[in-house]
Amino acid sequence: MSHATLIETFAERLVELGGVDPARVRLTPAPGTSTLEDLIKVNHHEDTLCELVDRTLVEKAMSYEASVVAMTIARILGTFVSFQRLGIVSGPDGMFRLLPGNVRGPDVGYVSRLRFPEGRFPTAAYPSISPDLAVEVLSPGNTKAEMTRKRIEYFHSGVKLVWIVDCRDRSVAVYTAPDEVVVLNEGDTIDGGEVLPEFSVCVAEFFSDLELLDSPSSP
């Protein structure tokens, strides 16, 4: 008997998903019955972006602020990774099939060249590989339990480094294991550890675009 079949009520389902807003949970197909094909269909043909969690389609919590910060981080990482020819950087619609069969789309993901089977770019819509680095930028709709569960899934699936970015206090929680964390603030420097040797940048750079409108324009 699978874990999903043990859940009898929608309330229990929400708890297992991390206490997410019920509005984020798709009821068609019924929670606990969704497949990879259902996920591909909804993500390719609708405006929302969903993840597959315990065979349930769950819409990603998103906000404009979080999207701007995620794009900034992706640009910074992408420039470094591309110049060094280290691998690939993807956005939230670049999803990965993780353990135990869930499909997750980190706001920013970095996959080293060595992780691609036979060194080739995957042809699957959602490849069965895990990123070396997963970055999640918190949106107002995210819950602590949801992010804890997602972080554990990442590490159990082979992710080596997780950054949880908080736009409110402009900090980054750097996880090297599910419960091993260092919190860095705007004045601190963040590096890539063993995942991205030689990479380092001031945390404030991640939030630089949020200051754009406050800066005087050039003549």
Tokens of 52: 């597959």
Q: Could you give the percent of the chain with pLDDT greater than 70?
A: 94
Binned at pLDDT 50, 70 and 90, residue 215 comes out as low
Which pLDDT does position 5 carry in this prediction? 47
Give me the architecture of the 64-214 domain, per CATH: Alpha-Beta Complex (3.90)
Which pLDDT does position 47 carry in this prediction? 86
Q: What is the pLDDT of residues 96-145, one digit of tens each?
A: 999 889 999 999 999 999 999 888 999 999 999 999 999 999 999 999 99
Give the residue extent of every domain in the chain: 4-59, 64-214
Q: What is the pLDDT of residues 141-171, one digit of tens each?
A: 999 999 999 999 999 999 999 999 999 999 9
pLDDT over 50 at 80, yes or no: yes
Which pLDDT does position 217 carry in this prediction? 57
pLDDT over 50 at 88, yes or no: yes
Q: What is the pLDDT of residues 34-50, one digit of tens each?
A: 999 999 999 999 888 99
Strands 56-59 and 50-53, bridge-based pairing: antiparallel
Give this prediction's pTM: 0.93
CB distance 58 to 17 below 8 Å: yes
